[in-house]
Structure formats: C-alpha cells, structure tokens
C-alpha cells in the first residue's frame, strides 16, 4: 500500500475520505503547543517544568486525568482542570502545524481541484481549531470537514452521510489509523486504508 495507490484511486474517480488526528498530522504537534500555553499560566513554578511534566506524563501515561495530575502536583498554582480544558478547547494558531510527509506527497500527485474530505471524532470546535492550525498548502475552499461528534461519533456511520454528495460516491476509501476507523469502514462496507501500514514502511 503506497501513496501512489491512493493517488491512482482518485484518477479512477473513487472518493477518498480522511481521518484527522495522527492521519493527516501528528496530534502531539497540536497538544504540545496547548501544553506550552497552559504552562505559561504558572506563577510560582518555572513554565518549562510544567511543560515537561505535561509532555512526559502524556507520553508515558496518556491523556486520562492529565490535568487532574497537573493540579495535584502544583497546588500553589492556579491550575484547574476546567481552566486547562478551556485553554485546550479554544487554542488555535494560524497554519503553524505541518501535515505528515505522506500527505504532502499525496497532494503533490493529485489534481489541484481535489477536495480534501475529513471525518473526525472529538469535540467539534476543538477539531475545527485543529484544522485552522494546520498548514495544508491547499485552498481552504477545497477542504470539507465533518465533525462526527456533532451527530454520532465513529464508528457510527451517520457522519458519513453529512459529506456533500455522499450517496453518489464511487467505491469510497476511508484513510485512518485506528480500530475505530476500521470498524467505521466495516459498518459502511467500504475500503479501509490503514495509514499506519504506510507510515511503518517509511
């Protein structure tokens, strides 16, 4: 499975739809910027210490209760779960995050009127903020995003039918990275392209 395969499928008039996080870009590129913003709100602690704690804890333990752990470790600070979540859910930067190399390569091989169609789970406004923070090197009017959680999150198939002309798609392919994405495709009876297979070959 290669980038060339995906590009060739577009020439066959097959519709490609993409997941967002860790498919088009690395989610940590966004999250670590958020963690940096949160660390800047510290008063009594060096922001670098706060940032390194957030980054290391996320990498080692995941995101579960991350902001609770932050609040508990730095009791003299004004950190709160609510405040940290507010910063995360409202953070955006203008085209400051790059797409993954495979996606750049893919776009270089397709027609310049290709519409990038995205279906993504997650809080709708946060996902929109991510989109606005990514430099696609592509016209914004040629990017269509459906936030699945505005309807029913993947693997429920409802979000698929909120893409423009979804019922007219020819043998669509969904490009994603997770078991949820795979189940989403199974529920739709469409091809799943596991981007991890491509990335692992790099």
The 10s digit of each residue's pLDDT in 1-46 is: 689 999 999 999 999 999 999 999 999 999 999 999 999 999 999 9
Look up the pTM and report it: 0.92
The 10s digit of each residue's pLDDT in 39-76 is: 999 999 999 999 999 999 999 999 999 999 999 999 88
pLDDT of residue 135: 96
- Integer Cα distance of 196 and 32 in angstroms: 22
Q: Tokens 């592509």 appear where?
A: 138
pLDDT score of 192 more than 70: yes
pLDDT of residue 1: 63
Please say whether the beta carbons of 93 and 30 come within 8 A: no
At residue 197 the predicted structure's pLDDT band, cuts being 50, 70 and 90, is confident
Please say whether the beta carbons of 146 and 119 come within 8 A: yes
């Amino acid at each position: 499975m290669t980038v060339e395969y995906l590009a060739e499928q577009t020439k066959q008039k097959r519709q490609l739809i993409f997941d967002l996080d860790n498919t088009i870009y690395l989610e940590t590129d966004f999250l670590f910027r958020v963690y940096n913003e949160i660390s800047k709100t510290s008063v009594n602690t060096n922001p670098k210490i706060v940032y390194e704690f957030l980054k290391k804890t996320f990498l080692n333990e995941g995101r579960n209760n991350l902001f609770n752990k932050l609040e508990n470790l730095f009791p003299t600070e004004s950190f709160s779960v609510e405040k940290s979540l507010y910063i995360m859910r409202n953070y955006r930067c203008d085209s400051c995050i790059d797409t993954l190399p495979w996606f750049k390569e893919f776009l270089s091989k397709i027609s310049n009127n290709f519409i990038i169609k995205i279906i993504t789970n997650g809080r709708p406004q946060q996902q929109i903020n991510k989109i606005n923070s990514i430099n696609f090197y592509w016209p914004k009017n040629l990017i269509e995003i459906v936030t699945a959680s505005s309807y029913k999150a993947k693997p429920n198939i409802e979000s698929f039918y909120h893409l423009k002309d979804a019922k007219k798609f020819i043998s669509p392919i969904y490009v994603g990275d997770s078991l949820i994405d795979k189940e989403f495709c199974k529920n739709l009876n469409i091809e799943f392209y596991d981007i991890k297979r491509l990335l692992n070959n790099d």
